[in-house]
Amino acid sequence: MKIHEYQAKELFRQFNVKVPEGGVAFTAAEACEVAGGLGGYPVVVKAQIHAGGRGKGGGVKLAQSAQEVETFAGEIIGMNLVTHQTGPEGRRVGKVLVEQGLNIAKELYLSILPDRATAKNIIMASEAGGMDIEAVAEETPEKIIKVLVDPLAGLQGYHLREVAFGLNIPPAAMKSFTQLLSSLYRLFAQYDCSLVEINPLVLTAEDEVIALDAKMDFDGNALFRHKDILAYRDTDEEDPLELEASKFNLNYINLGGGGNVGNMVNGAGLAMATMDIIKQAGAEPANFLDVGGGANAEMVENGFRIILSDPNVKGILINIFGGILRCDVLAEGVVEAARKTGLNVPVVVRMEGTNVEEGRRILAESGLDLTTAVDLKDAAGKVAAMVS
């Protein structure tokens, strides 16, 4: 789960990770008020959305006066911000973070994330701060320092020293840096983060180390033990259909590319492979939808409704490999859903596995206009032909 920069900075403050003075504002007037309390100009006005690349998209502005704060905040709040991470449709900005400007001597990069290959936490740091770190990793990998931390033993002093010396932190700033990194690690570990990233981390002319930016992502599987983080969820940042699906425990992803074939599958791997085979058959998948192993008729019905609320969908492929989820249960759900929602697009059903004969009988006797398929290739071919 992602949170906003201003929320991440709240957590940073709680954990003693130094951040610039500032506050969030939802209107231009509020922005001026926040700026007025910062004790001088320049101040920075930053759009708060769950995507990077805000500066290049015009979502970050340096203001030299209260008037400029008002102007910039007025422009940014309500704008549709397009960055390389939002996609071409962009994201509407609802709030800004207003912060004091800093006397920057050097920009650094710092992040902590779990490394799946080694099962250790990895601290990544670079003197090439403020840049797209993936580009740095690709073009000049030697500029990135990587330090692995065993999650059982935890962070040690030498980890901090390795990073600090690797970044050529000046002696006067050494304490400030190691204190920040150890606090950041504590925050990362305590909250089951899947990423904590500061880009840039700045070294000021006064030899202080301050997190100018803050990005945090949390392991969704661990949120049961971090109820306080759930309060940071911003549903405005979520796709409306995905938000609706999440209410019914449906694992739905809107592919957003104007795909014309909706699909409903049990199991994540099979769902991905079903999207792929739709594409290979010459159509375009509209979504990912895993109804899971314990799906009931109600979930199938809601899945149907959500798929159909995407106006681009011209046909639906249902692909179920019955294991725990029995084909007869699925078939009953499909029939019920079709009766309730009405079938305004063709539906191809492919079922295999537990109780498949019973499932096929239910579909055949329903009197509904459903197309059945003998196997996956047949199913994808049929649905693609129907939407073309």
Nearer to other proteins, 73 or 384 (CB): 384
Three-state SS across 234-249?
Answer: CHHHCCHHHHHHHHCC
Nearer to other proteins, 82 or 164 (CB): 82
What is the distance between the alpha carbons of residues 373 and 49, in angstroms, rounded to a whole number? 44
Nearer to other proteins, 176 or 266 (CB): 266
- State in angstroms the smallest separation of the CB of 266 from other proteins: 6
Nearer to other proteins, 94 or 114 (CB): 114
What is the arrangement of strands in the sheet containing 261-265, beginning at the earlier edge strand? 251-254, 287-290, 261-265, 315-322, 347-353, 370-372
What is the distance between the alpha carbons of residues 193 and 1, in angstroms, rounded to a whole number? 9
- State in angstroms the smallest separation of the CB of 275 from other proteins: 5
Q: Strand 209-211 vs strand 193-204: parallel, antiparallel, or unpaired?
A: antiparallel
Helices (H) and strands (E) in the chain, counts: 13, 18
- State in angstroms the smallest separation of the CB of 366 from other proteins: 24
Active site residue 142: no
3-state SS class at 313 = coil
Token look-up 């500029």 returns 143
- State in angstroms the smallest separation of the CB of 280 from other proteins: 5
* Secondary structure (DSSP) of 83-129: -TTT-TT-EE---EEEEE---EEEEEEEEEEEETTTTEEEEEEESST
What does the chain come to in residues? 388
- State in angstroms the smallest separation of the CB of 288 from other proteins: 6
Nearer to other proteins, 104 or 272 (CB): 272
Helices 268-280 and 376-387: angle between axes, nearest 10 degrees: 50
- State in angstroms the smallest separation of the CB of 113 from other proteins: 9
Contact 1/218 with Cβ under 8 angstroms?
yes
Cβ-count burial 234-255 (b if 16+ within 10 Å, e if not): beebeeebbebbeeeebbbebe
Nearer to other proteins, 144 or 368 (CB): 144
Nearer to other proteins, 167 or 286 (CB): 286
Give residues in contact with other proteins (CB under 8 A).
85, 114, 116-117, 119-121, 134, 138, 150-152, 189, 192, 194, 219-222, 224-225, 251, 253, 255-256, 265-280, 285, 288, 290, 293, 321-324, 352-354, 375-377, 380
Token look-up 């954990």 returns 15
- State in angstroms the smallest separation of the CB of 385 from other proteins: 15
Q: Single out the catalytic residue among 5, 197, 301, 332.
A: 197
* Secondary structure (DSSP) of 32-77: HHHHHTTTSS-EEEEE--S-S-TTTTT-EEEESSHHHHHHHHHHHT
Active site residue 109: yes
Q: Single out the catalytic residue among 68, 99, 109, 252.
A: 109
What is the distance between the alpha carbons of residues 301 and 291, in angstroms, rounded to a whole number? 11
β-sheet bridge partners, residue 316: 262, 347
Active site residues: 109, 197
